[in-house]
Structure 1
């Protein structure tokens, strides 16, 4: 395979001359002498065998051939500079990939804002996101071998545990559901006559069924599926308030008035099973973005 006849440096000099408008200004921008800029461009045109520039007054302009070739070279220059930037990041300990495991009830708007903020700091780091169901054990989480987790597990069950927020679950049903025809506030006996729609959490489901004697229980693996089931009138359920605010505003769903408490809270924590010496700057930056979105002071 033949080596290139031209160098990246020569193309960068050409691009700078066009951006600056003259050899002198390009020399200043590149911190080089004007003669070295002229030499680089002469060598480039000689090796290509094409005139790339024409001088009009004191201004350097591209020829037709120069415009066509520089347009093709510009993305290569950008890619090479990005490559060097990434190499500098790797040299400084920036990770190329991170894995993040997130409980499905964690507010999506906060999650995506945190990821966007992290991307702005580390554009070359890929984040692999996995959503999990509530109630996974620490053993199940460890099997996933993630760098960072947002889970319902308390800090004492993992290293580097940090409280993030409480997710408020509220009881809702389709606005024309028969439950709204009963006198409020509703009792446990009133609720037990209708199917309970749940987002998967085996531990809480077993407790809830024993406590209420629920006639039927429909379990879904995502908040979206549970919300859709409730929206068509299958039953009632407890859903995270942050995920259903727009549906409540639209009038499709309405909150139920209960004799017992009308809000249940699930605490979410950010945890990692990494040793402290492996808690590098990339993981630290992602965790700070998440903490900032949850308004938790560092």
Structure 2
């Protein structure tokens, strides 16, 4: 097993002598005797077999080797400070990791806003953000494998918070046969290929589906296929709005202008109350989803 030849304290003293311009000045700042600083640096240089400092008059100057080791040693002491700070954070109950699972078809702009605001207050907490299908959400909730799950339905006997109502609209490429029609009936939709953003096992909350359907597991894949004129899809209005404005996709002109809606629920699978990091993120999530709902009401 490797045994270090130096200590963190020796490197801190070495840095202090350089930063304050000499042994006497560093001793005063560190509230240590000058002889103890001389001894620490001398022992460090002896262990390394290198000269790091040379005294010129009353000033301690770096040697070429010392310049290299000064840069590297600063990272070492910063890493140690970070480790000790992390220990303080974890001992206070702050979670080191938060795992978030989002159902693929749900829009998530407010979530991104909350995560952006959380970053500056995260205190080193890592975020694992995973997209999955409805069946995947159910598995995660059953196994309590995430701190929070964004799902399109609530689950019995599990804490869930209603966050938002999302409007879905039918869209296709400009060159798709449905794009130029007006007053499209549901029976006409059923004759076209539909891209369904789901796992194929659910009934999409009672939404009628045509016989021709492809099951798409990721929103990115559905949008890529739509751009190429493959099929049509019911997608969240706030997701496709920029594409509609740019003419990349068009909204199908339905006979009754029917809209489909889906709720976003924030499910907390754990049996214990959220910790401080999760509680902070939850408050930010509710804040930005509330703001989105208020804007929707005004519009």
TM-score category, normalised to shorter length: 0.7 to 0.9
Instruction: Give me the whole-angstrom Cα distance separating, in 1, the residues matched to 2:2 and 2:198.
Output: 61
Measured in 1, the distance between the counterparts of 2:55 and 2:163 equals 62
User: In 2 relative to 1, CA 193–92 (structure 1 residues): closer, same or farther, beyond 3 Å?
Assistant: same
The one-character-per-residue Cα deviations of 1:53-93 (angstroms, maximum 9, x if unpaired) are 24557654311121122233222222211221222122112
User: 1:126 maps to which residue?
Assistant: 126
Q: How far, CA to CA, are the matches of 2:24 and 2:152 in structure 1?
A: 63
Distance in 2 between residues matched to 1:273 and 1:243, nearest whole Å: 27
The alpha-carbon deviation at position 275 of structure 1 amounts to 2.7
Q: Does 1:281 align with 2:276?
A: yes
Please state how far the C-alpha of 1:14 moved relative to its aligned partner. 1.8
Cα 1:264–1:29, aligned 2, differ >3 Å: closer, same or farther?
farther
Contact 1:158 1:271 in 2 (8 A): no
How far residue 172 of structure 1 moved from its aligned partner, in angstroms, is: 0.7
User: Would the aligned equivalents of 2:140 and 2:146 in 1 still touch at CA under 8 Å?
Assistant: no
| Pairing 1:229-244 to 2, within 5 Å after superposition | 229-244=225-240
**What is the Cα deviation at residue 8 of structure 1?**
0.9
Partner of 2:296: none
Task: Identify the residue that residue 194 of structure 1 maps to in structure 2.
Answer: 192
Unaligned regions of 5+ residues in structure 1, if any?
none
| RMSD of aligned alpha carbons | 3.2
Residue number in structure 2 paired with 1:105: 105
Alignment size in residue pairs: 290
Q: Please tell me whether the aligned partners of residues 173 and 179 of structure 2 are also in contact (alpha carbons under 8 angstroms).
A: no
Q: How does 1:6-25 map to 2 (within 5 A)?
A: 6-23=6-23
Q: Distance in 1 between matches of 2:45 and 2:22?
A: 17
Q: What aligned pairs does 1:74-113 form with structure 2 within 5 A after superposition? A: 74-113=74-113
Query: What is the Cα deviation at residue 170 of structure 1?
Result: 1.6
Alpha-carbon separation, structure 2, partners of 1:164 and 1:57: 70
* 5+ long unaligned stretches in structure 2: 293-299
TM-score, normalization: structure 2? 0.80
Aligned-partner SS, 1:294: helix
Structure 1 239/27 Cα, relative in aligned 2: closer, same or farther at 3 Å? farther
After TM superposition, the structure 1 = structure 2 runs for residues 27-42 of structure 1, keeping only pairs within 5 Å, are 27=27, 30=30, 32-33=31-32, 35=34, 37-42=37-42
Corresponding residue for residue 156 of structure 2: 157
Tell me the distance in 1 between the aligned counterparts of 2:184 and 2:213: 18
**1:138 touches 1:157 (CA, 8 Å); kept in 2?**
no
Partner of 2:219: 223
SS at structure 1 position matched to 2:285: helix
- The residue number in structure 1 matching 2:183 is 185
For residue 167 of structure 1, give the secondary structure of its aligned residue in structure 2.
strand
